[in-house]
Chains A and B, each alone.
Chain A
Amino acid sequence: MTGPVPSAEHPVGLSIRGAVKVYPGTRALKGVDFDIRMGAVNVLVGENGAGKSTLMKVIAGVEDLTEGEILIGGKAVHFRHKDDAVAHGIGIVFQELNLFPDLTVAENVFMGREPLRFGFDIDKGAVVRRTRELLGRLEQDIDPEMRLGFLRIGQQQIIEIAKALAEDARILILDEPTSALSAAEVEVLFRIIDELKAQGVGIVYISHRLEELIRVGDYITVLRDGEITGSRPMEGVDIPWIVRAMIGEKSKDYSQGTGHAFGEEVFRAENISLPKMGGGWLVDDVSLSLRSGEILGVYGLMGAGRSEFLECVMAQHPGSGGRFFVEGREMREASVDRRIARGIALVPEDRKRDGLVQIMSIRENLTLSSLKSFTRIFHMSLSAEADRVRDYIRRLTIKVASPENPVSSLSGGNQQKVVIGKALMTGPKVLMMDEPSRGIDIGAKAEIYRTMRQLASEGIGIIFVTSDLEEVLGLSDRILVMADGRVTGEFQKGADAAQVIAAATPDKTKKGHAA
C-alpha cells in the first residue's frame, strides 16, 4: 500500500493492485495500485498516453488486465465484459458522448435496458417516469420526451451521467467531463458531483485542467508512463506539485537542436477566425508568424481551437476569415492542392481518418500528394515513383517488408512516418503537424522528434500542435499557448511549465475557481 491511509469517512470501494497491461509493443500500465474511495472525488491526472484511459477501461470491464487484480470489498473480482462491471455498480462517462441524437432523452437513458412488460413490450410510461426521477435527482429541468439532439452539449453530458446512474452506479468515472462545457454548465456539474458525493457515490474524475482538479478533488493520483508518481489527499496540493509529478525531473530524449540560425519569415497568419455553430468562435483572431528553420509548438487543451486553426490553413473551413502569407506573398488559393503547391503541408491529428487511405499500399499513400512530380502531362512513371518511395523509406527509416503491402499493416509509428513522408514529398516550406506523437511508442516518438529537428535544420518551418506539456517544452524553439480559440501566451525556449499550464487554462474555470 503506497497511497494515503484510508479514512473511515471515505471507505475504499474498489482497489486495483499491481495492475499490468501489455499491448503489442507497449506496456501501458506497469504495476499500478489505485484506490477508489466512496463518497469522495478521486482525481486521476497524467499526460496523454500516461495510462489513464487504459486504467479506466480496465475498471469499466472494457479491457482485461495482463497481471494484477481488482478488489471490491476485499474480494478479487474479474470483469470479463462491460456488463460485469455494470453489475458491480461501475458506470463510466466517456469523453466522447455515446448518445443517439434522434431518440428522446428517456430512450437514451434506458438504451439497452428498457423496462419491459410481458418480456417484449417497452414500458414507455416507466421509462419516462424513471428518467424524470433521475433528472430530478440531478436537479435538471429537462423534458424526458424531448429529442436529445435539441439539448446543448453540457446537457447531453448530464444525460450521460443520468444513464450511468440509471444502472445504479456506485462508482462513477468521468473522463474529461468539462472539456465541452461552458462555465455555467461546469458549475452545474460540480453541484451534481457534490450531491452524488453526499449520496455516497465514489467518483473518479479525469481532467487536464489542473485548477479544476484542485477545486473538485478529495484525493489525487498522478500517472506517468504507466506508473503512479504521486498519490495523496488533496489538502496541500498545488499546481507545481502536480506538474512535477506529471513530468518528473528526468527528460525524455528530445535530441537537442543543432543550434542553426533561423531564416526569414516563411509563414504568417493574420487575424484568423472561425465561427462556431451556435455562436462564439472556434478560432478567435489568431495571428502568428513562423521563420524558416523554426519549430513552433502550439500547446493547449482539447477544444482550444488548435486543430481548427491548422485546418483553416489547409483550406478545410470555407467560412473562416483572415489572411495567410507564405514567404511574404498572400496565399489566396482556396483549394488544398494549390495550397500544397504553395508549400504548405499538414500531418493531420487522426491518422486513420484523415492521414492515410488504409486500403492503399504504402507506396500509393506516400506519393498521393505528389503524383505530379513524376507525371508528364498525364503519364506517371511508375519506376520514378518506386525510386522516390525507396528513397523516403530509407530517409525516414520506415520499417516495411514491402512498399506494396497495405499501409494498415504497419504499426502506429511507421504509419505516422508514412504520413510525414507524404507531406515531405510535396517539398513543403511550412510543415504543420497535429499531435505528431499521439498513439505511438516511445522509440518511434524519439525518431519523429529527431526527424523534426532534422527538417528544421534543413530550413523547413514547423508548426506542431500538442497536448503533451513535456513535448512542447522539450521540442519547441518557441511556444504559443491557445485557449478557447485565442492565443493566450507566447513563451521562448526554456519557459516555466507552470506558466505555460496557467496560460492554457480557459477563463471559465478561473471564474469558477473564484466563485
Chain B
Amino acid sequence: MTATTATAAPAPQKINWLLLLLKARTFVALILVLAYFSFAAPNFLSTANAVLVSKHVAINAFLAIGMTFVIITGGIDLSVGSVVGLCGMVAGWLLLNGIDVGLGWSIQFNTLEVMLIVCLVGIFVGWINGTLITRFNVAPFIATLGMLYVARGSALLSSEGRTFPNLNGTADYGSSSFPEIGAGSFLGIPVMIWMLIIVTIAASYIASRTPLGRHIYAVGGNERGAALSGVRVRRVKMFVYMFSGLMAALVGLIIASQLKASHPATGEFFELNAIAAAVLGGTSMSGGRGRIGGTIVGAFVIGILSDGLIMMGVSSFWQMVIKGLVIIAAVVIDQAQSRLQTRVALSQEAAASR
C-alpha cells in the first residue's frame, strides 16, 4: 500500500542509464568540446587561455542566469542586451560627470556607490518590465521587446551616440578603483569570476532551497494552479524580471570597467546568447523546468565552442552555423529525454499501484 521507496523492477533500471546519460547531456557536451579543442587548438589548455575563456563565458553566464529564472516562469526577457548598454552608459556618465543638481555643483560618487546606482537602474528597468507584464497584462515578449528599444535608445541619447572614454575614475572621488571590477583579480582569479561564483551560488540556492524558488517553478508549471495554491504570482514575476535587470546591470558594469569606456551599442544580441545558454542547459521555453547549474554549463559550452573555433581559425560565418546547430540539437535531445523520463515514471507508478 505505502510503497514510499523506489523499488523499481530490473527493466526500468536498465532504461535509467540512458536517462542518466541524457540528463547529463550538456555536461557530456562540455567534456567533448573541451577534449576536442585540447587536441585541435594549440595552447587551448593553458592557464592564461582558461582565464580568458572564463571571462568571455562569465559575461554571458550572468545574463543567462537571470534569463533562466524568467524562462522558468514561462516568460522571456529580450531587453537584457540593451540594459547592458544602458547600464554601461549610466556608469560612464556617473564617473565622468557625476550628477549635476543644477546649483552650480555636482555630486560625485565612489566606485561602490556607482555600482549600487547602476544596479538600481537595472533593477528599475526590470521593475518596469514586471509591472507591464503583471499589471497591464502585456505579453512578456512584447513588453521586453519594447524595453529593448527604449533602453537602447536611452543609451544612445545619453551620449548622443558617442563613447564615454577613459573611465579610469578619479582618486579624489574614490572612484579610481572602477577598472578593478573587470580587470582586477583576487587570489589569482579575476574579480568578475568571483562575482559569477557568488551569483551562481546565490541563484542556485534561491532556486532549490527557498520558497521563492519553488514558487518560480510552480508559476511556470501551472500559473492558475499556483495562484490557487496561494502563490503570489505577481510578486514572483516581479522578482524574476528585476533579478534579470540586476544581472544586466552587473554585465554593463563589468564591460565598462574592462574597456575603461562605455559605448551605447554594447550588448547587442546578448539576449539571444543568454537564451541559447539557458536552453542548452535544459531550460524549457514553455516554463516550469530548468536549472542554474545547467545554464552555467550551457554558457560554458557556447563560450568554449566560439573561442575554440576562433583559435582554430574557423571563419566566423561557420561559427554561427555550428552554434545554431548545437542549440537545435540540444532541444531535440531535450524532447527525447522528457519523453523517456515520463515513460520511466509511468512504469514505476504502474508497478507501485499494482
Contact = CB atoms under 8 A, between A and B. Distances in A.
B116 interface: no
A357 B345 contact: no
Contacts of B351: 401
A368 B221 CA distance: 12
B222 A406 contact: no
Contact of A357 (B8, B209, B226, B341): B226
Contact of A405 (B2, B209, B348): B348
A369 interface: yes
B225 A357 contact: yes
Given A359-B289, A360-B288, A368-B218, A354 B211 contact: no
Nearest to A340: B230
A410 interface: yes
Contacts of B353: 399, 411, 414
B231 A390 contact: no
A353 B349 contact: no
Given A371-B214, A397-B1, A358 B221 contact: yes
Interface string A354-367: 11111110001001
Interface string B317-354: 00000000000000000000000011001101101110
A316 B224 CA distance: 10
B350 to A, nearest CB: 8
Contacts of A360: 217-218, 221, 288
B273 to A, nearest CB: 26
Nearest to A353: B224
A390 to B, nearest CB: 6
B228 A390 contact: no
A449 B42 CA distance: 71
A378 to B, nearest CB: 5
Contact of A393 (B4, B7, B8, B214): B4
Contacts of A382: 209
A420 interface: no
A296 to B, nearest CB: 21
Contacts of A51: none
A372 interface: yes
> Which of B4, B7, B288 gathers the greatest number of chain A CB atoms within 10 Å?
B4
Contact of A337 (B8, B225, B232, B349): B232
Nearest to A372: B211
B210 interface: yes
B229 A422 contact: yes
Contacts of A98: none
Interface in B224-276: 224-232
A146 interface: no
Interface string A387-421: 00010011001011111011011110010000000
B209 A379 contact: yes
Interface residues of A, number: 46
B338 to A, nearest CB: 9
A399 B352 contact: yes
Contacts of A422: 229
A336 interface: yes
B189 interface: no
A375 interface: yes
Contacts of B101: none
B3 interface: yes
A345 to B, nearest CB: 9
Given A380-B209, A401-B348, A405-B349, A357 B288 contact: yes
A499 interface: no
A408 B349 CA distance: 10
> Which of A372, A380, A403 gathers the greatest number of chain B CB atoms within 10 Å?
A380
A346 interface: yes
B212 interface: yes
Nearest to B286: A359
Nearest to A346: B228
Given A402-B5, A405-B345, A336 B209 contact: no
Contact of A401 (B7, B211, B215, B228): B7
Nearest to B226: A357
B224 A337 contact: no
Nearest to B214: A371
Contacts of B342: 406, 408-409
A493 B214 CA distance: 43
Given A371-B214, A401-B352, A406 B225 contact: no
17 contacts: A314-B228, A346-B228, A353-B222, A357-B225, A360-B218, A364-B214, A368-B214, A368-B218, A372-B211, A380-B210, A399-B349, A399-B352, A401-B3, A401-B8, A405-B348, A411-B353, A426-B230
Enumerate the 7 nearest inter-chain pairs by beta-carbon distance, A residue then B residue, closest first. A357-B221, A337-B230, A401-B352, A401-B348, A409-B345, A371-B211, A405-B345
Interface of A: 314, 316, 335-337, 339-340, 346, 348, 353-360, 364, 367-369, 371-372, 375, 378-380, 382, 390, 393-394, 397, 399-403, 405-406, 408-411, 414, 422, 426
